[in-house]
Structure 1
Amino acid sequence: MANLAVTYSHQGKYEEAEELELKVLDVRKSVLGLEHPNTLTSMNNLAATYSQQGRYEEAGELEVKVLGLHKKVLRPEHPDTLTIMANLARIYSDQGKYEGAEELELKVLDLSKKVWGLEHPKTVHSMNNLATIYVIQGKHKEARKLWMEMPNSGNPANLAN
């Protein structure tokens, strides 16, 4: 059921995905408990579906809950926790809450450097996300500095702004 829900989501069938995700979440909570990693994955998937539907308030509220549980169960430096933090930052950005997005992306970047190192694709992706948030806020100097720190930063496209 969970895989089918993800498939529906990838196909843009968000109502069908949401319906299945709610059922899967209910079953996982009952059988596995709220703090089980699979239950947390279901909650994250549902938040993503809400976000894809433009339901950012619901997505953000659920993702905040998921992030708190991830930090408790898997610890802040766990790769899945970093993914949840990045997801929440994106939701904040989609809502125009750039200061909140920036704060989370700074945490994600700091932890990504510790967990994976500077040259890991996920760390580079985090750097780019933060730089993009800087650009949106008009903080071009900070964005340029971050892009210059990125591995293979010689790409002139990174320096355009």
Structure 2
Amino acid sequence: MNSSRELQALILSIRRSEKEVQAQIRKHTKPMVQSAWQQGLAQHASTRFEHKVLVETARVAVSNQNVKLKSGGLAKKLSGGGRARELYVAAEFGADQNRETQYGQISKNGKRYSVTRHSARQLRPRNKKGYVVYPTAAEIIPRLAALWTQTAVRTLYEAFEKKG
């Protein structure tokens, strides 16, 4: 397991600090991380579909031990009727471009004919590494760790100065 002694020391010092100091650290960290996360996602998203499903549903959860980055997990309905949590896989990883659906149909005159639908052409081609969330997370996590550390150290220092 890759771990940083500095981050472990930070987590330990946050855990051992007073409850109100912990609350201040969480309070100051969340808005900064939230805006950085959404900006990073917006830079990587190239379609309106990706913006609706991945960027607009981006959330951050801050605790004393970690910072969770979330996207696409909301149950809110989008304008087309689908839910973000049902569509996030297609928005992030794309779809098989050769996927066809064939079905029979009957015209107004009663003539039968076959219809071929290409149901995934509006999505990007399949990519296991992702297009928006995964590249953004890989790029932004070191910066967010530094931001969290700076915020926590500054808040701990200010609390220490008030006592002294």
Scaled by the length of structure 1, the TM-score of the pair is 0.23
Structure with more of its chain in strand, by fraction: 2
Question: Rg bigger for which structure?
Answer: 2
Structure with more of its chain in helix, by fraction: 1
Scaled by the length of structure 2, the TM-score of the pair is 0.23
